[in-house]
Chains A and B, each alone.
Chain A
Amino acid sequence: MTELLDVQGLETKINTRDGTIHAVNGVSFSLKKGEILGIVGESGCGKSVTMLSVMHLIPSPPGKVVAGKALYNHQDLLQMSNKEIRKIRGSQISMIFQDPMASLNPVLTIGFQLTEPLMAHLSMGKKEARERAIEFLTLVGIPSAQERMDDYPHQFSGGMQQRVMIAMALTCNPQVLIADEPSTALDVTIQAQIIDLVKGLRDKIGMAIIWITHDLGIIAELADRVDVMYAGYIIEEAPVDSLYGNPQHPYTLGLLGSLPRLDSKEHRRLTSIDGMPPVLRETPHYCPFAPRCRFVMERCQHENSPLMLVEKDHRVACWVDPVTGKTRR
């Protein structure tokens, strides 16, 4: 199987006045054609920084990608010059961000913003670009797209703005779409519309999607494979059924236990994870989850576990088997 995007050992550090923050610590993942990869984690776990690093969107300084490779069609994105990456960004790999109002320019019409990448990347003429933009606005479900081309972002509702963002990300036929919490700011009924739309587009256009979120419910619905991140590490990766059916990392277990389920029959107390996620100012020589872990043992305090295979395609970075409470191997 050909990997469309293959990230290996990515490390990003951010220098602040209070010291260096180790935001991403050796993250590796890959994405196949037409696949939806979910990346889950809480705020500050490095999920957004990982993607921004791959796309050269980390402001430097203060941020710096210090190690790693990101192979896209056998070219290393991280070695590219700004000029080279600009050819890829927005045309072959495009991104949608969380807050549509903050990512659209409020003083330009959406028509202008939609046609700009087409003219820049695909060297289209104005008229042709406009037609294509209208076509995509219709595709993402914006009624009377032709008239709405000359509207400004504030004339759209939040859900409609997010649709405009998706249309903009899709116009250049990207191979990969990176969606960074695109539905977090939206209401559930609008979120359902957006998810339905994205799934439909994947089937229709066949692009691969990386969906970043903190919502395990959305991932269950959407993703083929999941990476769970904590403190800049991937701590568990698995096919979606395997992750929910047989979660192995104590953090994943904790996250799943802290979610109330709409279809649960009786009232059960939520299992919360005590404490809060750390901010790493050094490379830890211990498991970063150890201070909050129910299964913590001696070894966790001085050695961080690598990702270990537990079943087919299911890897976990933990010394303890949470079912038996004993050490792995």
Chain B
Amino acid sequence: MLGRSCDREDPPMSDDPILLSVQNLVKHFPIMRGIIIERQVGAVHAVDDFSVDVRRGETLGLVGESGSGKTTAGRTILQFYRPDSGHVYFEGTDLVGLKGEELRRMRRKMQMIFQDPYASLDPRMTVGDIISEPLMAHQLADRKEAIEKVEELLYLVGLDPTYIHRYPHEFSGGQRQRIGIARAISLQPSLVICDEPISALDVSIKAQVVNLLEDLQDRFNLTYIFIAHDLSMVKHISDRVAVMYLGVIMELTDREELYNKPLHPYTQALLSAVPIPDPPFERKRQRIILQGGIPSPVNPPSGCRFRTRCPIVMPVCSEEKPPFREMGSGHFVACHAVP
């Protein structure tokens, strides 16, 4: 039966509902000057004090404008970038201290789908080689098994299994993204970080890929971190949503609450900026239009990072960093103005 061997044979059953626990993650990129004598002149504060728990089987959405650090957060969780401080507990193991073979073994369970389906597939490898590479690298299959597995995976993601010998350029953007998805699920991971998987795709293709991601999640009990700037798509696919701004989580709550009762002024502005395909509704809508753009993460504003664009800024905002507080069950917000 197709798809059979892709089913989890031995699901890593633990009673812990928390699959991934990220605690106070910090990632700064140094800015160096000088050619012979290099010295650090500053740092890009990409991710600061990022804490979030991800439950098994859920989808956590990560939204924010470009430069808000959402991609860096995803990559630092997977240890593509080594964090400056903080902990990433995955199934109880802290990934931050792990090296070499130990880390490699953990990586089987965490995979990534990338934004650009044109850049993330090697143009000189066939589809079969691309999808089977993780299997071969982790020595989970020999050549023959790998081919069978690739055919199953292609079928699962909605591509013709006979495409196995073709090259990436023979596929459209949506089909390439399906190949990237097949590669990501080939190792039967528990966690998949989807880094803007649909932003490069056409409108009618976006829905196809999102539906595929949802089907695969149901089938294999996958846990997703879904990174995107499209708020309506994030709300559609996520169970809970974290709103990021300049490297900091501003608000975290489940999707209904986020839309019905946004507490942070940034979330409110972000929601009101999303156009809704309903002309009479649009005409009645009151918009909050933020001034200016996102400040540079090299010198982020003191105190609250949103204060330079905040419509309800107060003196305390420039002095003190707002704590990330829980306001009712599971609804966290970092704002001084929220009572």
Chain A residues at the B interface, C-beta cutoff of 8 Å: 42-43, 157-160, 187-193, 195-196, 214-221, 240-241, 244-245, 254-264, 267, 269-274, 276-277
Contact = CB atoms under 8 A, between A and B. Distances in A.
B207 A270 contact: yes
Contacts of B18: none
Nearest to A251: B204
Contact of A159 (B174, B269, B280, B293): B293
28 contacts: A42-B202, A42-B204, A157-B293, A188-B273, A191-B273, A192-B289, A196-B287, A214-B202, A217-B275, A220-B278, A221-B275, A240-B279, A244-B279, A254-B204, A258-B207, A260-B235, A260-B237, A261-B232, A262-B231, A263-B276, A264-B236, A270-B207, A270-B211, A272-B207, A272-B208, A276-B172, A276-B174, A276-B202
Contacts of A196: 287, 289
Interface of B: 65-66, 172, 174, 202-208, 210-211, 214, 229, 231-233, 235-237, 259, 269-282, 287, 289-290, 293-294
A220 B282 contact: yes
Nearest to A192: B273
Contacts of A267: 236
A222 to B, nearest CB: 8
A160 B293 contact: yes
A256 B278 CA distance: 10
Contact of B204 (A187, A193, A217, A272): A272
A121 to B, nearest CB: 31
Contact of B275 (A157, A218, A272): A218
A274 B208 contact: yes
Contacts of A216: 203, 277
A271 B214 CA distance: 13
Contact of A258 (B174, B206, B287): B206
Contacts of B214: 269
Contact of A261 (B208, B277, B289): B277
Contacts of B289: 189, 192-193, 196
A217 B277 contact: yes
Contact of A188 (B202, B229, B235, B279): B229
A188 B282 contact: no
Contacts of A159: 293
B276 A258 contact: no
Given A188-B229, A270-B210, 10 more contacts: A160-B293, A187-B65, A216-B203, A221-B275, A240-B279, A257-B207, A262-B231, A272-B205, A276-B174, A276-B205
Nearest to B237: A260
A9 to B, nearest CB: 27
A149 to B, nearest CB: 19
A259 B203 contact: yes
Residue with the highest number of chain B CB atoms closer than 10 Å, among A244, A263, A274? A263
A285 B289 CA distance: 48
A193 B237 CA distance: 27
B275 A220 contact: yes
Contacts of A158: 293
A262 B274 contact: yes
Choose among B232, B271, B280 the residue with the greatest number of A CB atoms under 10 Å from its CB: B232
Contact of A190 (B237, B277, B293): B293
A64 to B, nearest CB: 26
B236 A258 contact: no
A256 B276 CA distance: 11
Contacts of B272: 192
Nearest to A292: B204
B277 A220 contact: yes
Count chain A CB atoms within 10 A of each CB in B208, B259, B293 and give the residue with the most: B293
B209 to A, nearest CB: 9
Contacts of B210: 260, 270
Top 3 closest A-B pairs, CB basis? A217-B275, A260-B236, A258-B207
Contacts of A274: 208
A220 B279 CA distance: 5
B66 A269 contact: no
Given A193-B290, A258-B203, A270-B211, A221 B282 contact: yes
Given A244-B279, A269-B214, A270-B236, A255 B274 contact: no
A262 B229 contact: no
B115 to A, nearest CB: 14
A272 B206 CA distance: 8
Given A42-B202, A258-B203, A260-B233, A189 B278 contact: no
A312 to B, nearest CB: 16
A262 B259 contact: yes
Nearest to B212: A272
B46 to A, nearest CB: 17
Nearest to A243: B279
A263 B235 CA distance: 9
A260 B278 CA distance: 12
A187 B293 CA distance: 9
A262 B278 contact: no
A262 B235 CA distance: 7
B276 A189 contact: no
A195 B211 CA distance: 30
B269 A244 contact: no
Residue among B202, B203, B211 with max Cβ neighbours from chain A (10 Å): B203
B17 to A, nearest CB: 21
Nearest to A40: B203
A269 B276 CA distance: 18
A309 to B, nearest CB: 21
Contacts of B274: 188, 217, 262
Nearest to B214: A269
